[in-house]
Structure 1
Amino acid sequence: MSLQNIARLLLLAAIWGASFLFIRIAVPALGPAFLMNGRVLFAALFLLLVALLLKKRLLLAEHWQHYLKLGFINSALPFLLFAYAAGVLTASLLSVLNATAPIWGAVIGILFYRQPLSAKVLLGLTLGVSGVAILVGFDPVLLQPGALWAVAAAASAACCYGIATHYTRRAKAVEPFANAHGSMWGALCCLLPVTVLFPVQQAITPGVAAAVLALGVVCTGVAYLLYFKLVQEVGATSTLTVTFLIPVFGVLWGWLFLNEQVGWHTLAGSLTVLTGTALVTGFNPGSSIQKWFRQRRV
Structure 2
Amino acid sequence: MSTPLIARPAVSPVSGSWLTPLELGGLAAVWGASFMFMRIAAADFGPFPLVAVRLVMGSLVLMPFLLKARSAITRAHWPKLALVGALNAAVPFVLFAWAARQAPAGISAIANSMTVLFTSLVAFLFYKERITSRRAVALAIGFAGVVVLASSKIEGASPGLAVAAAVFAAFLYGISANMVRRHLTGVPAGAVAAATLGFAALMTLPFALATWPAQSIPGTSWLAAVALGVVCTGAGYVVYYRLIARIGAARAVTVTYLVPLFGVAWSWLLLGEPVTLTMVVAGTLILGSVALSQRQSS
Which TM-score bucket, shorter chain as reference?
0.7 to 0.9
Instruction: Give runs of ≥4 in structure 1 deviating > 6 Å.
Output: none
- Indicate yes or no: 2:211 matched with 1:190: no
Q: Which residue of 1 aligns with 2:284?
A: 271
Q: 1:142 to 1:38 in 2, by over 3 A?
A: farther
Higher helix proportion (structure 1 or 2): 1
Bigger shift: 56-65 or 79-88? 56-65
| Structure 2 residue identity aligned to 1:206 | G
Instruction: Output one character per residue of 1:252-283: Cα deviation in whole Å (capped at 9) or x when no partner.
Output: 00101111111222222111100111222336
**Alignment correspondent of 2:49:** 34
Q: Which residue of 1 aligns with 2:11?
A: none
Aligned residue in 2 for 1:3 = 18
Inter-partner Cα distance in structure 1 for 2:162 and 2:275: 19
Aligned to 2:101, the other structure's residue is in SS state coil
Question: Which stretch has the larger CA shift, 130-139 or 194-203?
Answer: 194-203
1:218 has 2:231 as partner = yes
Q: Does 1:108 align with 2:122?
A: yes
From 242, 261, 274, the equivalent of 1:229 is 242
**In the alignment, which residue of structure 2 is the partner of 1:166?**
178
Give the match for residue 6 of structure 2: none
CA displacement 1:24-72 (0-9 Å, x = unmatched): 0000000000000000111112223x449xx614357634323212211
After TM superposition, the structure 1 stretch with the greater mean CA deviation from structure 2, 261-270 or 83-92, is 261-270
In the alignment, the residues of structure 1 paired with residue 250 and residue 276 of structure 2 have an alpha-carbon distance, to the nearest angstrom, of 32
Deviations 1:83-120 (A, max 9, x none): 11111111111100000001111221221122223221
2:192 counterpart of 1:179: yes
Report SS of the residue matched to 1:116. Answer: coil
Structure 1 distance, partners of 2:78, 2:129, is 30
Alpha carbons 1:12, 1:242 under 8 Å: kept: yes
- Structure 1 199/77 Cα, relative in aligned 2: closer, same or farther at 3 Å? same
Residue 97 (1) aligns with residue 111 (2): yes
TM-score w.r.t. the length of structure 2 is 0.88
- Number of the residue aligned with 2:5: none
How many residues align? The count is 280
| 2:261 partner letter | V
| Partner Cα distance (1:259, 1:128) in 2 | 27
- Are the counterparts in 1 of residues 150 and 160 from structure 2 also a CA contact under 8 Å? no
Q: Secondary structure at the match of 2:273?
A: coil
Distance (whole Å) between structure 1 residues aligned to residue 295 and residue 126 of structure 2: 20
Q: Is the 8 A contact 2:149 2:279 kept in 1?
A: yes
What does residue 212 of structure 2 align with? 199
How far, CA to CA, are the matches of 1:117 and 1:58 in structure 2?
A: 36
Residue 46 of structure 1 is matched in structure 2 by 61
Structure 2 partner of 1:291: none
- Runs of 5+ unmatched residues, structure 2: 1-13
Deviates more, 1:161-170 or 1:201-210: 201-210
Q: Distance in 2 between matches of 1:228 and 1:172?
A: 16
1:157 aligned onto 2:135? no
Residue of structure 2 in register with 1:239 after alignment: 252
Q: Which runs of 5+ in 1 are unaligned?
A: 288-298
1:21 equivalent in alignment to 2:36 = yes
